[in-house]
């Protein structure tokens, strides 16, 4: 009786162990790629509860969530022969778990390597100015190339972003001088436009004053008021121009001296003796 109980207990324990080994639970973002005696079973298992045959079935868990992949800094020579150091970040997720396990040995390492080589090759085809000003365009090109390369592995690359661009110190100083020269050029253009607009307004003001001379007197009085409001030792004595009119008229009536002519020489007389 004791031996029978022991056998029953042993059978129950073995059954429980086999049941524990055969029961699997996959989360909502997980899938189980099952190999039965080395042969791939499709479709992948999960999410939820499923059973495996102990010893016969082997399962590999695959995470379907978006993975953030940091691309290490790469030394790149741009199209205009400028050495830069660039790093990037890529976001991808697995859309076909079976292909990610069967088609490539390690999809993380493979995606990282293809991202590094693509980053160097694409940036080598663009100049430094394009790298700094057209980053969105370059990110799109990188995303398309990497996504096309990883598509057979069941991987979807959604976003590729260039994080940082390190430029040599000498090039940074040259770019700073270029930016300063550009700002000076813009400042000179703005000042010239201001002078042109001011000259146009002065021309309009001169036209108004020429039509109505009283406006000139009002402007003269306003200028005197502005000068008197400041603390200055300058003394201003407004003198009407009418006081100078008699002097101007008298000066205009004086005849201008003409050119002096030399006196006429007397005629020469010829006294010839008569024979």
Class of the CATH-defined domain 67-167: alpha beta
Residue 208 has pLDDT above 50, yes or no: yes
The residue-averaged pLDDT of 218-229 equals: 71
Residue 93 has pLDDT above 90, yes or no: yes
In a 3-state reduction of DSSP, which class is residue 255? coil
DSSP state of 52: -
**What pLDDT shows up at residue 239?**
67
**What pLDDT shows up at residue 200?**
86
The residue-averaged pLDDT of 126-142 equals: 91
Confidence tier at 125 by pLDDT (50, 70, 90): very high
The residue-averaged pLDDT of 88-102 equals: 94
Please report, rounded to a whole number, the percentage of residues in the chain having pLDDT higher than 70. Answer: 83
**What pLDDT shows up at residue 13?**
84
Query: 36-50, 171-185, 218-232 — which is least confidently predicted?
Result: 218-232
DSSP string, 181-240: HHHHHHHHHHHHHHHHHHHHHHHHHHHHHHH-THHHHHHHHHHHHHHHHS----------
Residue 144 has pLDDT above 90, yes or no: yes
pLDDT tens sequence across 62-84: 999 999 999 999 999 998 888 99
The residue-averaged pLDDT of 88-114 equals: 94
**What pLDDT shows up at residue 212?**
74
CB 120 within 8 A of CB 88: no
Query: 117-131, 160-174, 189-203, 245-259 — which is least confidently predicted?
Result: 245-259
Domain ranges (residues) in the chain: 18-63, 67-167
Average pLDDT of the chain is 83
Query: pTM for this one?
Result: 0.64
**What pLDDT shows up at residue 275?**
37
Residue 178 structure tokens = 């270029």
**What pLDDT shows up at residue 269?**
46
Whole-angstrom distance, CA of residue 84 vs CA of residue 76: 5
Residue 77: CA atoms inside 13 Å, Cβ hemisphere, count? 1
Whole-angstrom distance, CA of residue 118 vs CA of residue 12: 58
The residue-averaged pLDDT of 129-142 equals: 91
């Amino acid at each position: 009786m004791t031996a029978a109980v022991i056998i029953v207990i042993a059978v129950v324990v073995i059954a429980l162990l086999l049941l524990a080994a055969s029961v699997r639970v996959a989360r909502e973002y997980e899938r189980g790629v099952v190999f039965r005696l080395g042969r791939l079973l499709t479709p992948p298992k999960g999410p939820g509860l499923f059973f495996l045959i102990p010893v016969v079935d082997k399962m590999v868990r695959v995470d379907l969530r978006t993975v953030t992949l940091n691309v290490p800094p790469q030394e790149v020579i741009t199209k205009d022969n400028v050495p830069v150091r660039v790093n990037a970040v890529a976001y991808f997720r697995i859309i076909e778990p079976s292909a990610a396990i069967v088609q490539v040995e390690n999809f993380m390492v493979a995606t990282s390597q293809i991202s590094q080589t693509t980053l160097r090759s694409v940036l080598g085809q663009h100049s430094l100015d394009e790298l700094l000003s057209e980053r969105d365009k370059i990110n799109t090109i990188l995303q398309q190339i990497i996504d096309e390369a990883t598509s057979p592995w069941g991987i979807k690359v959604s976003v590729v972003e260039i994080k940082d661009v390190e430029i040599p110190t000498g090039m940074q100083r040259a770019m700073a001088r270029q930016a300063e020269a550009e700002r000076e050029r813009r400042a000179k253009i703005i000042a010239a436009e201001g002078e042109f607009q001011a000259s146009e307004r002065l021309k309009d003001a001169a036209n108004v004053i020429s039509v109505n001379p009283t406006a000139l007197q009002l402007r003269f009085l306003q200028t005197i008021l502005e000068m008197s409001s400041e603390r200055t030792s300058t003394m201003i004595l407004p003198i009407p121009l009418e006081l100078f009119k008699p002097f101007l008229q008298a000066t205009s009536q004086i005849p201008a001296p003409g050119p002096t002519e030399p006196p006429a020489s007397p005629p020469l007389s010829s006294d010839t003796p008569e024979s």
